[in-house]
Amino acid sequence: MYALCDQRSFYASCEAVFRPDIRGQAICVLSNNDGCVVALNDQAKAAGVKKFEPFFKQRQLIQRAGVHTFSSNYALYDNISSRIMKTLQDHTPSVEIYSIDEGFCDLSGIPAEDLKPLGRSLRQTVWNEQRIPCGVSIAPTKTIAKLGQYATKKIPKIDGVAVLTHPHQWEWLARRVPVAEVWGVGRRLNATLTSMGVVSAHDLALLDKSLARKIGGLPLARTIRELNGEPCIPMELNPPNKQQIICSRSFGTKLYQLEDVLESVSTFASRAAEKLRSQDSLAGRVSVWLMAGQHQRAGLSEASSVNLPGGSDDSRRIAREAVAIAKRLYRPGGRYIKAGVELVDIRPREFWQMDLLNREGETNKSLMPVVDKINRIYGRDTVMLARQSGASRFSMKQEFLSKSYLSKWNEIPVISC
């Protein structure tokens, strides 16, 4: 059996954790540079706020309805997510972290009569320890567990816990769930299935498997088997290493000067190298792209890349190569709105063969791990490349950013007694 713990309106709920004065009120969270509404709670939906709609179009509505607005605070969300996943790991045999707000728990060996009490205990413990509301759905397959989340949201009397242990239970639910809500059914596949008369999850469960393979390949056939109670998707306790690492961002203001562009590229290269080291891999190629504003002679986007002979995870080397590329791409007079750095040809360190003609990186192998350790203990950018010092000039627009309650000493909540 699997349990899926899904945090409700996670970003919005995180913003209310250290603000008990706004709990139960309408909250929305904006995307990078405060562009679009990317998260909102039920109260904000009731006020008429639309998800994925530009903020400037809804600003008057949001202000008139008294909706509390926040810029994305990813450090806070990641810290709270890590604590929730630790709670799940403490109370279940094993946990697969599926996303920042979802975790699959393996409940193998737990008696059937204990499943519902366990689900209620998980839900209550997450609330007691982190003040984040969540729904818990328990089923014999991960796809049915995903389906169960529909019930935790739409059926109030089950009080956020759905236990689907028998076929008649998940079949009853599947008849009421649109096929678009099934895990793995995207927009295009949904349109194809709907045109064939497959409008509910139950219709999909009855679809012929050979026909399903023609329409959606093995993934759709596997989904159908899962909907019929046959486990086909195992737990991934150790997610595979990334084969591509991208660090990019739209700037809070347009950049005109070469030095500002190079500082942004150096920062993104350093961030990408840090992610690369976290999985103990080396990259064999680095790419850089610059995007300029529309309606100008400098062109909309340019990109280039170079090889890293022998592979590298050294922020200094990767940033140096990225900066050299950016210098070639830069055009005077351009109004640059975005830049990005991409690392590819990524392989585990032990699988790399050193380049006999380029032995750069064999010395000072311990430097980067020491830098990472210092930054983990004392905060990001405690130690950084010299060119990163002006990063504030291209930082994101975050007009409504909340405090970093869990990651900055000067922003730790203060209680006055």
Beta bridge partners of residue 391, listed in sequence order: none
Q: Are 401 and 252 in contact (CB under 8 A)?
A: no
Tracing tokens 């413990």 back to the chain, one arrives at 125
Q: Is the domain 77-227 a CATH 3.40.430.10 member? A: no
Rounded to the nearest 5°, which phi and psi values hold at 207?
-70, 140
Cα–Cα distance list, 339 to 50, 133, 301, 332 (Å) = 29, 37, 9, 16
Q: Binning pLDDT at 50, 70 and 90, where does residue 351 land?
A: confident
Write out pLDDT tens, residues 15-74: 999 999 999 999 999 998 888 999 999 999 999 999 999 999 999 999 999 999 999 999
Q: Binning pLDDT at 50, 70 and 90, where does residue 358 land?
A: low
Write out pLDDT tens, residues 214-230: 988 999 999 999 999 99
The CA distance from 324 to 306, in Å, is 10
Q: Class of the 245-394 domain? A: alpha beta
Is residue 339 predicted with pLDDT exceeding 70? yes
Cα–Cα distance list, 88 to 92, 124, 216, 291 (Å) = 6, 12, 34, 42
Task: Give mean pLDDT, residues 270-290.
Answer: 93
β pairing state of 68-71 and 102-106: unpaired
Burial class (CB in 10 A: 0-12, 13-18, 19+), 79: middle
Q: Binning pLDDT at 50, 70 and 90, where does residue 355 land?
A: low
Residue intervals of the chain classified under CATH 3.30.70.270 are 77-227
Sign, CA dihedral 97-102-104-105, equals positive
Cα–Cα distance list, 349 to 226, 243, 312, 346, 370 (Å) = 37, 13, 9, 9, 18
DSSP calls for 104-171: EEE-TT--GGGHHHHHHHHHHHHHHHH---EEEEEESSHHHHHHHHHHHHH-GGGTTEEE--SHHHHH
Residue intervals of the chain classified under CATH 3.40.1170.60 are 8-75
Residue intervals of the chain classified under CATH 3.30.1490.100 are 245-394
Give me the sheet containing 27-30, strands edge to edge. 37-40, 27-30, 68-71
Burial class (CB in 10 A: 0-12, 13-18, 19+), 384: middle
Considering all CA atoms of the chain, what is the largest pairwise distance in Å, rounded to the nearest integer?
A: 70
pLDDT at 51: 93
SS3 102: strand
Q: What's the CATH number for 8-75?
A: 3.40.1170.60
